[in-house]
Amino acid sequence: MHPQTAESLCLPLIDLPSPRTVTMLDGSSPQAGKIWKKTSLTFSLDGKQMTKTFLICNTGSHAAILGLKWLDAHNPEIDWNTQTLTFPHAVPEHVAIAKEEEADKNPLEGVPSEYHRYAKVFGEEEFNKLPPHRHYDIGIELTEEGPLNSPLYSMTDAKSATLKDWLRDELKAGKIRPSKSPISSPVMFVPKKDGSRQLVVDYRRLNNRTKKNVYPLPRPDDLMAQLRGAKIFTKLDLRWGYNNVRVKEGDEWKTAFRTKYGLYESLVMTFGLTNAPAAFQHFMNELFKDLLDVCVIIYLDDILIYSKDDASHTQHVHEVLKRLMENQLFCKASKCTFHVTSVEYLGIIVSDKGFSLDKLKIQAVQEWPVPTKVKEVQSFLGFANFLCCFVANFSHIARPLHNLVKKDIPWKWEVKEQEAFQNLKDAITNAPVLCHADPTKPYFLETNASGAALGSILSQRQEDGRLHPLGFLSESFKGAKQNYNTHDKELLAIIWSFEYWRIFLEGTLHPITVFTDHRNLEYWKESCTFNQRHARWHLLLAGYNFQIVYRPGKQSGKPDALSRQADHANIPPADQTMLPDPVFANVALVLPEKELQRQIKQSLDQDESLEEILQFLQNKSKAPPSIKRAFKDYKMEAGLLFYQGQIVVPDVGTLRTDLLRIFHDSPLAGHPGRQRTLELVLRNYYWPGIRADTYWHVDSCETCQRIRKPKYASIPPQPLELPTRPWQHVSYDMIVDLPKDGNHNSILVIIDSFTKYGIFVKCSKKLKAPELAELFLEHVWKRHGMPKKTISDRGRVFNNKFLKALYKRLGIDPHFSSAYHPQSNGQTEQVNPSIEHFLRAYSGVNQQDWTKWLPMAEFAYNNAVHSSTGKTPFKALYGWEPTLTPSNVPTDVPEADDLAQTMEAQWKEVESALRQSKQRMIAGEDRNPVEFEVGEEAWLDSKNVNLKTLSPKLTKRRLGPFKVIEKISNRAYRLELPPTMRIHNVFYVGLLSKVKRDKKRAFKNRPPPVTIDGEEEYEVEGITDAKERNREWFFRVKWKGYGSEENTWEPRENLKNAGKILEKYEKDMRKKALDAAKALRGGQCRKRRTFSIT
């Protein structure tokens, strides 16, 4: 469709999931290139209404082009002389009852000769006889007596004539008779899909008074499950359907129906009686009970015979036809199918390869017009729901439509609903073939859960070695389940999947492999159970033979798509913690990695050192062997140059510095040290000299120099017994005496001794033992199972009787570090400075915003390579590296089948690295004192300077830099201090450290707080705003040396030493007020007024 056509018709444009290429009639492609948009249009052609999807592109002088696929689907008649198009097979409108039981001229036509002995089953002479009374006759038991009469429905003359003919035929066949019943139901016509109408009795009032028969109807999916391994099929269609069952003698009067031509009652079971389906299914099941699920499946009057070979199939068909003949049940040969490898049954195409959708149903969906009211949406959903087992993501895609038909929801068809309608049609049109289940092969269950829904796929490996789906499951979380945490939602996805496919998964020969992207579920079967829900789920799954295997989210695309459809936005989400504005602002200061990669692409040809490599890659075939060997590790992909799988960064502009800022300066990186920063960069990027550049960037980082604690000789950590798997040994410690942020003034640090993975939990210093136990259950046990050993210091909260009793009950061996020597709990003692280091780098001047940075501190720590293991704690635990920022870098993901072996090998590497690290734990190395020249700058350790901040732990570790003005000796120097620092200016060399400056990055000289009369003060740079609150004026202060994100509101009394700045601000405000007044008065100032803030 031409874009102008869509615009003129006000059609909403929908993004395609991937760009499309269209071939024109002459074989060319549109000049505009690939197509990115589509739309849907309902139109009428030759009196036939249809809805089609159109791709948006330039169609020249034509408003729209229907295309060859449409012509092939509808096969219209084209008159080339008049240039007109018509449909030859339009169904005429008429009021006629469908003649379902017309006689065949040759009753045995199409019936194989070996079955002609059952000619009576297909013959016409026995067909019109009234069936005999049987044990299975339907009885109608009323729950209460009373009148059950309804008024006649009005009918047109055409319908009345048709009704008269129908009564005559039914009386002649003996199916009905005149009645004198005291109750009656009206008759009416209902349309059929072929355009004809069927006469039915409206038994709704009778059904409401009838005792229900609860005999079950088989589930279609259960029936289809029995067809696994079948190769040959025969389908039989019974004549008369429900009319093959008589009404129980004495109950005929209850079926009475009234017409304008009299009162009649039925002698056979008719469509519309509430117990008719149950009674007929009971009749058929009893008739073929020994053949059910052996070679026959039956759904009401549809019989399907299946076998694995021709010989056994012939025997099975003989047995079925024999029983039909003995019980006076008849079939219409023209509606039966014999000895085929593919057959339509219950609207689904069944073959030896699996199940697929009927083309007629696909066509019906394709031509379904856009709904214009709720009833039409309900009709479409009712049709689509039958096909949901073929559609991945069905409930997610259809959610906007389901929301539209809810009670008290006003009709509103917008882009969201149109997209859902069209996407559902597309999904049904492109539904895959579902394979037959084979009980001799292992099953694979892929599950995933998002905040709003779960998705699941049951698969088996076929002859091609690939997993093929057996079915899809997609369900929304409702009620209390929406509030489950992530762990329980992921587990619930497994529970529901096992219940849904129970007939396949109970008693399997091989263990069922359950793939999940939630790492903690791998050990769920081994963990202890503490709440009733988990205990109940343990019992539900106790009868299944399965193993849970972790597979990262990138490899779980199919079930992940089932649970993360954007349409679930309509479900109210659980409470979420959003990224605070200051954090977001700081993150946004770093150039996004995607943007950097775009700049790298554009800059490749500007780096002369890469010119020879790029020329070689453009014409490899003509390069000499020596050049091929030299450049064999380079390749081009997606416009980027790669060296051994890493993106080459050209030496152009500030590209390399910008990358180092992403992987060192940003809050997501957290100012790591040399080696950790280098490892972060090397994950995706490379350039000659990258190590030296990275080391210099870290060494010259002003923030790191300010906040990093000077290193002194210390007693090394004491190595502990080594664990053999994650979360077997757990270390605890507390960082206390932080500025109070809400109810929190401490951090509980939890470290896995195996992977070094850290969990940082904000808490209170007054944390009691029961509260600590709750944090332990919430952050450790529910995610990783129960540890065998814990290591902590001898603090009151860790050494409590309650915890000791809990540990004993849970079978945990608690260990405590030696008194006055916390290094024996070196795991957490070494992590604590890292946390404080991060929070010092990013927390504000008042130090009371540290809690919002804590999650990012945890991420930065776990994403940095640990010296003991040689891996990041994140990768050591989960098997993959997290991305720091969104990236366009192509990644190779290992096959899921190798995941278990990969993790096992990786854990062996970790265990080996831990052993080597244990051997390396020796006494600290001796350090020679540094030397300074007069005039050189030095950092001053702040530990002996009383700065009166809220928390020494979050205060900058170094002050300055200050100029060295005199060398007293090799061990002492005199510094030039500001006059406000009233301390002795000679310092021991151990308190001083070198200043490293990078010319590319200017230092933001943040002056130390000024001390006046014993009180700390910061220098005011300017005032940006003012407001009145409770009759007192407050001013928005910009502090000298600090960013705008740390501006604060201060009362006038706090600015008494910034009188000149305050006076200037008030003067500027008066001027603005006068200018505004002049503008309002047209430049005529009638009365001079002064402006002041008092």
pLDDT digits (tens, 9 = 90+) for 614-652: 888 888 877 787 778 778 888 888 788 888 888 899 988
Instruction: Please say which residue of 535, 570, 605 terminates a domain.
Output: 570
Instruction: Clarify whether residues 599 and 701 are in a common domain.
Output: yes
Instruction: Clarify whether residues 699 and 840 are in a common domain.
Output: no
E-state strands within 727-832: 729-735, 746-752, 758-763, 789-792, 813-816
Instruction: Clarify whether residues 153 and 295 are in a common domain.
Output: yes
247 domain residue, yes or no: yes
Helix (H, G, I), strand (E, B) or coil at 68: helix
The two most distant CA atoms of the chain are separated, in Å, by: 129
585 domain residue, yes or no: no
Q: Are strands 342-345 and 813-816 parallel, antiparallel or unpaired?
A: unpaired
Helix (H, G, I), strand (E, B) or coil at 293: coil
- Give the pLDDT confidence score for residue 317 in this predicted structure: 94
Give the integer Cα–Cα distance in Å for 75 and 80.
15
| CB within 8 Å of 998: residues ≥ 6 apart | 696, 697, 700, 701
pLDDT digits (tens, 9 = 90+) for 836-884: 666 666 555 445 667 877 887 788 788 887 777 778 888 888 877 776 5
- Give the pLDDT confidence score for residue 232 in this predicted structure: 93
Mean pLDDT of the chain: 75
Most trustworthy range by pLDDT among 143-147, 345-349, 490-494, 829-833? 490-494
Instruction: Clarify whether residues 749 and 885 are in a common domain.
Output: yes
Instruction: Please say which residue of 394, 429, 464 terminates a domain.
Output: 429
Instruction: Please say which residue of 985, 1016, 1047 terminates a domain.
Output: 1016
Phi and psi at 553, nearest 5°, equal: -55, -35
Query: Which residues are bridge partners to 1017 per DSSP?
Result: 1010
Helix (H, G, I), strand (E, B) or coil at 1049: strand
| DSSP string across 197-251 | EEEEE--HHHHHTBPPP-PPPPPHHHHHHTTTT--EEEEEEBSSGGGGSBBPTT-
Other CB atoms within 10 A of residue 98 CB = 14
- Give the pLDDT confidence score for residue 573 in this predicted structure: 37
436 domain residue, yes or no: no
Instruction: Clarify whether residues 638 and 531 are in a common domain.
Output: no
Confidence of residue 22 (pLDDT cuts 50, 70, 90): low
Confidence of residue 257 (pLDDT cuts 50, 70, 90): very high
Instruction: Clarify whether residues 779 and 876 are in a common domain.
Output: yes
314 domain residue, yes or no: yes
- Give the pLDDT confidence score for residue 320 in this predicted structure: 94
- Give the pLDDT confidence score for residue 177 in this predicted structure: 94
pTM of the model: 0.40
Instruction: Clarify whether residues 134 and 277 are in a common domain.
Output: yes
Give the integer Cα–Cα distance in Å for 338 and 233.
7
Q: What type of residue sits at position 833?
A: P
Instruction: Clarify whether residues 686 and 788 are in a common domain.
Output: no
- Give the pLDDT confidence score for residue 1014 in this predicted structure: 42
Q: Which of 671, 708, 1009, 1022 lies closest to 842, judged by CA?
A: 671
720 domain residue, yes or no: no
| Structural domain boundaries, residue 26 | 3-86
Helix (H, G, I), strand (E, B) or coil at 397: helix
Question: For 712-739, what is the mean pLDDT?
Answer: 70
Q: What is the CATH number of the domain that holds 808?
A: 3.30.420.10
- Give the pLDDT confidence score for residue 946 in this predicted structure: 55
Are the C-beta atoms of 223 and 348 separated by less than 8 Å?
Answer: no
Other CB atoms within 10 A of residue 377 CB = 22
CA angle 1037, 664, 880 (to 5 degrees): 130
Phi and psi at 742, nearest 5°, equal: 70, -125
Instruction: Clarify whether residues 531 and 639 are in a common domain.
Output: no
Instruction: Express as a percent the part of the chain with pLDDT over 90.
Output: 8
pLDDT digits (tens, 9 = 90+) for 357-372: 666 666 667 777 888 8
Q: What is the CATH number of the domain that holds 1048?
A: 2.40.50.40
Instruction: Clarify whether residues 1031 and 1007 are in a common domain.
Output: no
pLDDT digits (tens, 9 = 90+) for 664-682: 877 667 778 888 788 888 8
Give the integer Cα–Cα distance in Å for 681 and 207.
73
CA 354 to chain CA mean position, Å: 28
- Over 70: is that where the pLDDT of 781 sits? yes
- Give the pLDDT confidence score for residue 736 in this predicted structure: 79
- Give the pLDDT confidence score for residue 961 in this predicted structure: 84
Give the integer Cα–Cα distance in Å for 843 and 320.
81
pLDDT digits (tens, 9 = 90+) for 389-436: 667 667 777 778 888 888 778 888 888 888 888 888 887 777 666 777
| CB within 8 Å of 841: residues ≥ 6 apart | 670, 671, 703, 704, 707
Q: Are strands 746-752 and 729-735 parallel, antiparallel or unpaired?
A: antiparallel
Of 187-191, 702-706, 883-887, 1085-1089, the poorest mean pLDDT is in 1085-1089
The interaxial angle of helices 581-588 and 850-862, nearest 10 deg, is 50
pLDDT digits (tens, 9 = 90+) for 24-50: 655 555 555 678 788 888 887 766 778
pLDDT digits (tens, 9 = 90+) for 961-1008: 888 988 877 777 888 887 666 666 777 777 788 887 766 555 444 444
| CB within 8 Å of 85: residues ≥ 6 apart | 45, 46, 76, 77, 78, 79
- Inter-CA distances, 458 with 461, 469, 837, 1059, Å: 11, 6, 48, 74
106 domain residue, yes or no: no
1064 domain residue, yes or no: yes
Q: What is the CATH number of the domain that holds 412?
A: 3.30.70.270
- Over 80: is that where the pLDDT of 444 sits? yes
Task: Please give the residue that has the higher pLDDT: either 210 or 71.
Answer: 210
- Over 50: is that where the pLDDT of 564 sits? no
- Over 70: is that where the pLDDT of 381 sits? yes
Question: For 1049-1069, what is the mean pLDDT?
Answer: 83
Number of domains in the chain: 8
Instruction: Clarify whether residues 868 and 893 are in a common domain.
Output: yes
Instruction: Clarify whether residues 873 and 1022 are in a common domain.
Output: no
Query: Which residues are bridge partners to 189 per DSSP?
Result: 199
Question: For 703-715, what is the mean pLDDT?
Answer: 59
Sheet of 14-20, strand order: 14-20, 35-45, 48-55
Task: Please give the residue that has the higher pLDDT: either 424 or 1094.
Answer: 424
Give the integer Cα–Cα distance in Å for 514 and 907.
21
Are the C-beta atoms of 513 and 444 separated by less than 8 Å?
Answer: yes
960 domain residue, yes or no: yes
